Amino acid sequence: MLNNYTEKLKSALKKRVYIYIDAANFERSVQDMWVNSKDIPNDLKNNLAGELRYRIDYLKVKEYFAGISDSKEIKFYSADFGDEKHAKFLWFLKKVLKYKLETKPLKEYLDHTPEAPHRKANFDVELAVDATYNLDKYDTLVLFSGDCDFEYLIKFLKGHGKVVIVFSRAGHVAKELPPASSYYFDIVDFRQELLKIEPKTQKIPL
């Protein structure tokens, strides 16, 4: 049975849909979500809610949008951590789930200590260029990010007749994005559709 938020999303999605995921932003938003005890699946009922966390289920993400829209492309923008585990994760996204990938190495800055390094790999430019270059290939852009730098892109796309739907999380979305977007949705309202629950002892690939 579809929840009310899915019904609202379905009515917002128009014709051909592209989905762009700002991986670091999306992952951070989900990591800070508290697990509600009523959401704990049966196989994890022996765990306390505080011992569990939400994780993004990228198979669910793909299947969910394929089921409610004319999803043409889903693209994942992520730093490449350069280790074997993350390489396997990226391979899985590309070869098994058929995501398109845009990656680059992490850049390390010298304004922090070796014990607490400052590493970053922004994809604002890459994502904006792709969204603009592919302008004639989609009618709706779904953007998973709360980064304020995308406000200008959103306004540009809307000015060219595109529907722009932003997914983020309260506390992780810049105040400029919800009013700039055509529609804004909080990830927490789609936790059953897009996320999974697992013990905190498992390592996150991103």
| Domain edges within the chain | 4-199
Q: Are 81 and 106 in contact (CB under 8 A)?
A: yes
Token pair 């989609």 in the structure block, residue: 138
Q: What is the mean pLDDT of residues 2-8?
A: 85
Q: Specify the pLDDT at position 2.
A: 56
pTM to 2 decimal places: 0.87
Mean pLDDT of 84-95: 93
Which 3 state secondary structure label does DSSP give 204? coil
| Average pLDDT in the chain | 88
For 128, residues 6+ apart whose C-beta sits below 8 A from its C-beta are 150, 153
Predicted local distance difference test score (pLDDT) of residue 66: 96
Residue 104 zone, left/alpha/beta (φ > 0; ψ -120 to 50; rest) = beta
pLDDT digit string, tens, across residues 17-55: 999 999 989 988 898 888 888 888 888 888 888 889 899
The span from the CA of 135 to the CA of 117, in Å, is: 38
Residues 6+ apart with CB under 8 A from 129: none
Q: For residues 169 and 189, give the distance between their C-alpha atoms in angstroms, rounded to a whole number.
A: 9
Q: What is the CATH number of domain 4-199?
A: 3.40.50.1010
Rounded Cα distance, 176 and 150, in Å: 9
At 179 the pLDDT is 95
Amino acid 77: pLDDT: 95
C-alpha distances in Å from residue 2, one per residue of 8, 10, 47, 65, 185 = 10, 10, 28, 13, 16
C-beta separation of 70 from 16 below 8 A = yes
Beta strands in the chain (DSSP E): 16-22, 52-56, 70-80, 100-105, 107-109, 118-120, 140-144, 163-168, 183-186, 195-199
Question: What's the mean pLDDT in 171-185?
Answer: 94
Average the pLDDT over each of 84-93, 134-143, 182-191, 194-203 and give the range with the smallest value: 194-203
pLDDT digits (tens, 9 = 90+) for 128-149: 999 999 999 999 999 999 899 9
